[in-house]
Amino acid sequence: MTQTKTQSTSSTPPGNQPRQNGGFPIVGLGASAGGLEAFEQFFRHIPPDSGMAFVLVSHLDPSHASILTEILQRTTSMPVAEAQDQMHVMPNRVYVIPPNRDMTIFHGALQLSIPTVLHGQRMPIDAFLRSLAEDQAEKSIGIILSGTGTDGTLGLRAILGAGGVTLAQEPTTAKFDGMPVSAIQAGYVTHILPAEKMPEVLLSGILALALQPIPSPPDGIERHQSRPDAVTHQHRPRFLTL
């Protein structure tokens, strides 16, 4: 693979440095209505040195500036930045999609573009998670939090197919359960749990799951409570070391 470059004095901002050799897990989080509370619950329980990068995609009003970056910076000690075009994703940092932008990831760098589809018809979470699955494969992690509609469901399918991990907020804990329920009912979720419990699962060694099909149990989807092996009826994880 590519050799790791020696660090030298550089004018490139810290959040824009190229990825180091070997990679790291990148977590894509999608939310819509009620998502701010879920984001805060999640980041209150993530340590600043988890070794993961976090990219947030939410349904923002395209005509108003977002203060999501400032709000989340009060919740976590990790640097939180509004994403910029060609910004390289680094571990232990949080990136937030800007308003009125579509976002994907390619070779570890965020790609921003002006939407060509009407606001109500866009699926920005699906678009980012699909690109994350293609770019990061088994190091991709997709999380769907509170929101209405179905955005994110197909993105989780892509991540699951690439060997990554998929999580959805326990619907009874979400302000709006449409997005989590859609993903869960489609069978593309490996773990279902409250937002504040997700970091515990990610940090317990589930960062690089390889998934293999197993027969469906008679009672359908199994919800995750405290056991790291609880998954949907479609897949069982095999733990790998990063």
Residue with the two structure tokens 């302000």: 175
Q: For 42-46, 54-58, 147-151, 233-237, which range has the lowest pLDDT when averaged over its residues? A: 233-237
Q: Cα(38)–Cα(146) distance, rounded to whole angstroms? A: 7
Residue 219 has pLDDT above 80, yes or no: no
Q: Cα(53)–Cα(41) distance, rounded to whole angstroms? A: 17
What CATH number is given for 19-238 in this structure?
Answer: 3.40.50.180
Q: What is the pLDDT of residues 99-139, one digit of tens each?
A: 989 999 999 999 999 988 765 578 999 999 999 999 999 99
pTM of full prediction above 0.85 = no
Q: Give the helix, strand, coil percentages of the chain, each rounded to 5.
A: 30, 20, 50
Q: Using pLDDT thresholds of 50, 70 and 90, give the confidence band for residue 215.
A: very low
Domain ranges of the chain: 19-238
- Percent of the chain scoring above 90 in pLDDT: 66
Residue 9 has pLDDT above 70, yes or no: no
Residue whose C-alpha is closest to residue 241's, from 22, 3, 17: 22
pLDDT at residue 71, rounded to an integer: 94
Q: Cα(144)–Cα(32) distance, rounded to whole angstroms? A: 9
